[in-house]
């Protein structure tokens, strides 16, 4: 008779098992947060997609945004570097400050904002250019002309991609695998040395091995950059982030759905001892 | 305990014969239909090439390509050099006018205007212009340029052809620009690039192959036009490399010589037809080579 191997019979919750998985904030957020959201609402035309979000983004830490689909977490993320400007009809109300300055003030140039607050997208989107040119693109945009090759190498090393591509820098970025393409996009982003990196579900198109590489990378990058990540994967939020914001979708009295921030706290706290019932239901997999 | 899937009772038959007969014959009929349609579409193409080569190959010689056109169509000998020169000068100028303007117009429509009222208006006008008969373009240039100046010229012909090419270039380029993924524009914007920089360094290079196809289609169409040139360029028997002064072109030469009853004229028309086909082919190949240098390979 076969020896049955019993699978792990722990309940299928997505909460981390044991405190060991929860990263300790490596440095207490003693300094002022690099970004602050105050009563941020985002509209698409007359539709209010997200209501009244207030949360900080702490310096050199990883902040995760989690929540069900349609809860507005990506929308909030995109409001942090004015990417919503590219969507016709999108409008942001409330205050988003970066080092104390409101980035939605009239005389703020979104280009200046995006040069300091970079973004990595859900789907790897390398340019149809060579690997080298992909990374060098941001340098060209920002008119950095000294030691381009060195900066490209440094960025590719920073994105843990250098050893895999150092012999084929001239080949197209599109010839890489999905996981490599995403790390190429991260290299492209860090090459211009931004202050904050926004990541919009950066691993959702990747397999588990590529995902773990990107997560390791995030840990390394957090020493240098402030990272905000949107993820559907709660274990990922638990594994990588220091702070977590839980969003949900609500239906108001008129039957209109909109996203809302439910709870913002240290990640360990959100996953082990959430204040709000909705957070607890979501992270333990119980709904309604 | 999981339930085992039911065991198949008969041995598995995964051959084509096991499919229902209707599915099999439908597939056969559909495949056959597609092959037949392709063959039917290829027949006129092959016949045209065959006929042009058969009738025209005999007249091609160095003298034919380099000598002036005889003053009288019935006289044998002479060449078609002035018409080749005219076609190169007039079509070339028209392409230089229409392609940059058309590409920039398409960039406006797709990247800036989008679905705004001005963009919608321009798009509609471009569609209407595509449908305007080419002789109307010729008449238009004749009225606004040739009559006031009392002078037919290569430039007037080039302008008429440019009017003809412009809407084709605009619409084909816009369609290609629309296919460039928005992801790329966003990635560029997230790096702090301005819109024009993104367009020049990312969007246009990604679309250059399609833009070239559209532009060459427009050039080929313009190179074969007779009607817009009848009023605007006139006729000459010696090569005229300048844009001023009357000129001639291959389609006009073909028209004139093919409508004569003389064997020498007919032979000259067929020879000119081959020359025109080869010129358009050469222009397309050269454009492909040039755009290939800018285009980025996927692999």
Contacts of B257 (CB under 8 A, 6+ apart): B73, B265, B266, B268, B269, B272
Report in angstroms the alpha-carbon separations of B93 from B6, B216, B223: 75, 14, 11
pLDDT at A11 over 70: no
pLDDT at A149 over 50: yes
- What residue in B sits closest to A110 (Cα-Cα)? B192
pLDDT at residue B297 in the model: 55
Q: Quick one: average pLDDT of A253-258?
A: 86
Q: Which of A111, A142, A174 sits opposite B298 (nearest CB)?
A: A174
Structure-token pair, residue A37: 């959201």
Please report whether residue A157 resides in a domain.
no
Q: Quick one: average pLDDT of A65-70?
A: 89
Please report whether residue A150 resides in a domain.
no
Nearest-angstrom CA–CA distance, B210 and B174: 10
Which chain A residues touch B110 with a CB distance below 8 Å? Answer: none
Q: Quick one: average pLDDT of A36-59?
A: 92
Confirm or reject contact between B18 and chain A (CB < 8 A). Answer: no
pLDDT tens column, A17-32: 433 344 444 444 456 8
Report in angstroms the alpha-carbon separations of B102 from A287, B87, B105, B225, B288: 56, 21, 5, 19, 18
Q: Which of A119, A172, A192 sits opposite B297 (nearest CB)?
A: A172
Nearest-angstrom CA–CA distance, A66 and A235: 10
- At A16, the pLDDT band (50, 70, 90 cuts) reads very low
Which chain B residues touch A86 with a CB distance below 8 Å? Answer: 185-186, 189
Q: Which of B185, B193, B206 sits opposite A128 (nearest CB)?
A: B206
- What residue in A sits closest to B113 (Cα-Cα)? A88
Asked if A79 and A196 touch (Cβ cutoff 8 Å), the reply is no
pLDDT at residue B162 in the model: 95
Sign for the pseudo-dihedral over CA of A34, A26, A153, B185 = negative
Q: What percent of chain A has pLDDT over 90?
A: 55
Please report whether residue A19 resides in a domain.
no
- What residue in A sits closest to B114 (Cα-Cα)? A88
Question: Does A125 contact B181 at a Cβ distance shorter than 8 Å?
Answer: yes
pLDDT tens column, A264-281: 999 999 999 899 988 988
**Structural domain B62-294, CATH architecture:** Orthogonal Bundle (1.10)
pLDDT at A247 over 80: yes
pLDDT at residue A288 in the model: 43
Asked if A214 and A183 touch (Cβ cutoff 8 Å), the reply is yes
- What residue in A sits closest to B196 (Cα-Cα)? A141
- What residue in A sits closest to B195 (Cα-Cα)? A111
Please report whether residue A162 resides in a domain.
no
Name the minimum distance, in Å, from the CA of B128 to any CA of chain A: 28
Q: Which of A118, A171, A174 sits opposite B191 (nearest CB)?
A: A118
Chain A residues bordering chain B (beta-carbon distance below 8 Å): 81, 83, 86, 88, 111-112, 114-115, 118-119, 121, 123, 125-130, 137-138, 140-142, 171-172, 174-175, 185, 188-189, 192
pLDDT at residue B1 in the model: 52
Q: Which of B189, B202, B206 sits opposite A114 (nearest CB)?
A: B189
Confirm or reject contact between B178 and chain A (CB < 8 A). Answer: no
Asked if B272 and B226 touch (Cβ cutoff 8 Å), the reply is no
pLDDT at residue A283 in the model: 86
Name the minimum distance, in Å, from the CA of B216 to any CA of chain A: 23
Which chain A residues touch B188 with a CB distance below 8 Å? Answer: 127, 137, 141
Nearest-angstrom CA–CA distance, A177 and A210: 10
- CA dihedral B237→B238→B244→B250, nearest 10 degrees, is 60
ipTM of the modeled complex: 0.80
Which chain B residues touch A115 with a CB distance below 8 Å? Answer: 191-192
Mean pLDDT by 10 residues, chain B (299 residues): 66 83 93 96 94 89 88 83 93 95 95 90 92 91 92 92 94 94 93 93 91 91 89 87 89 91 90 92 88 65
For residue A207, the enclosing domain spans 33-125+196-284
Question: Does A192 contact B191 at a Cβ distance shorter than 8 Å?
Answer: yes
pLDDT at residue A22 in the model: 41
Paired strand residues for A118: A197
pLDDT at residue B5 in the model: 67
pLDDT at residue A227 in the model: 94
Please report whether residue A254 resides in a domain.
yes
Q: Which of A83, A111, A171 sits opposite B194 (nearest CB)?
A: A111
pLDDT tens column, A153-200: 999 988 889 999 999 999 999 999 988 999 999 999 999 999 999 999
Helices (H), B108-203: 117-131, 134-141, 147-149, 154-179, 182-190, 195-198
Nearest-angstrom CA–CA distance, A190 and A138: 9
Q: What number of other Cβ atoms are within 10 A of residue B112's Cβ?
A: 13
What is the enclosing helix (H) or strand (E) of B210? Answer: helix B204-223
- Extents of the domains making up chain B: 62-294
The more confidently predicted of residues A255 and B180 is: B180
The more confidently predicted of residues B134 and A14 is: B134
Q: Strand pairing of A196-200 and A117-120?
A: parallel
Which chain B residues touch A175 with a CB distance below 8 Å? Answer: 298-299
- What residue in B sits closest to A136 (Cα-Cα)? B191
Identify the residue among B111, B191, B201 best suited for mutation to test binding to A, counting A beta carbons within 10 A and taking the highest.
B191
Closest C-alpha among A141, B211, B204, A72 to residue A55:
A72
Q: Which of B184, B298, B299 sits opposite A125 (nearest CB)?
A: B184
Name the minimum distance, in Å, from the CA of A239 to any CA of chain B: 26
Please report whether residue A112 resides in a domain.
yes
Please report whether residue A222 resides in a domain.
yes
Q: Give how many domains chain A has, as a whole number.
A: 1
């Amino acid at each position: 008779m076969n020896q049955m191997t019993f699978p792990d019979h722990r309940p299928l919750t997505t909460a981390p098992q044991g405190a060991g998985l929860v990263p300790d904030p490596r440095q207490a957020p003693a300094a002022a947060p690099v970004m602050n959201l105050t009563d941020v609402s985002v509209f698409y035309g007359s539709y209010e997609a997200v209501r009244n979000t207030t949360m900080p983004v702490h310096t050199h830490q990883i902040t995760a945004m989690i929540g069900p689909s349609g809860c507005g977490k990506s929308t909030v993320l995109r409001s942090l570097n004015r990417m919503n400007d590219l969507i016709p009809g999108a409008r942001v109300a409330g205050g988003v400050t970066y080092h104390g300055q409101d980035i939605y003030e009239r005389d703020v140039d979104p280009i200046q904002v995006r040069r300091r607050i970079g973004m990595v997208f859900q789907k790897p989107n390398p340019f149809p250019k060579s690997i080298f040119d992909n990374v060098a693109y941001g340098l060209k945009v920002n008119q950095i002309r000294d030691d381009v090759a060195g900066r490209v190498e440094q960025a590719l090393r920073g994105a843990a991609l250098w050893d895999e591509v150092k012999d084929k820098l001239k080949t197209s970025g599109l010839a890489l695998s999905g996981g490599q393409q995403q790390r190429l996009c991260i290299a492209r982003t860090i090459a211009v040395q931004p202050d904050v990196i926004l990541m919009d579900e950066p691993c959702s198109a990747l397999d588990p091995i590529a995902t773990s590489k990107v997560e390791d990378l995030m840990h390394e990058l957090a020493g240098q950059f402030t990272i905000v990540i949107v993820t559907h994967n709660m274990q990922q939020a638990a594994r990588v982030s220091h702070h977590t914001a839980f969003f949900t979708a609500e239906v108001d009295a008129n039957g209109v759905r909109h996203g809302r921030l439910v709870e913002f706290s240290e990640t360990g706290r959100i996953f082990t001892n959430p204040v709000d019932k909705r957070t607890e239901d979501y992270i333990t997999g119980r709904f309604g | 305990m999981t339930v085992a899937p039911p065991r198949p009772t008969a041995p598995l038959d995964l051959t084509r014969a096991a499919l229902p007969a209707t599915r099999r014959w439908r597939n056969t009929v559909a495949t056959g239909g597609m092959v037949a349609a392709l063959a039917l579409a290829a027949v006129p193409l092959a016949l045209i090439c065959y006929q042009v080569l058969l009738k025209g190959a005999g007249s091609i010689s160095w003298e034919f390509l380099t000598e002036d056109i005889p003053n009288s169509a019935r006289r044998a000998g002479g060449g078609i050099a002035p018409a080749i020169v005219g076609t190169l000068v007039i079509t070339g100028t028209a392409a230089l006018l229409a392609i940059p303007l058309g590409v920039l117009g398409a960039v406006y429509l797709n990247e800036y205007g989008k679905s705004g009222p001005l963009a919608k208006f321009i798009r509609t006008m471009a569609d209407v212009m595509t449908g305007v008969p080419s002789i109307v373009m010729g008449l238009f240039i004749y009225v606004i340029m040739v009559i006031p100046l009392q002078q037919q010229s290569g430039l007037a012909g080039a302008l008429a052809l440019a009017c003809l090419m412009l809407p084709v270039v605009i619409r084909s380029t816009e369609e290609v620009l629309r296919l460039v993924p928005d992801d790329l524009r966003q990635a560029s914007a997230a790096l702090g690039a301005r819109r024009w920089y993104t367009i020049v360094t990312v969007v246009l290079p990604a679309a250059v192959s399609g833009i070239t196809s559209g532009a060459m289609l427009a050039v080929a169409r313009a190179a074969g036009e007779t009607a817009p040139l009848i009023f605007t360029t006139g006729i000459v028997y010696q090569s005229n490399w300048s844009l001023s002064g009357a000129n001639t072109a291959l389609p006009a030469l073909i028209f004139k010589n093919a409508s004569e009853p003389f064997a020498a004229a007919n032979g000259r028309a067929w020879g000119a037809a081959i020359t025109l086909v080869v010129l358009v082919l050469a222009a397309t190949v050269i454009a492909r080579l040039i755009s290939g240098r800018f285009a980025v390979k996927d692999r």
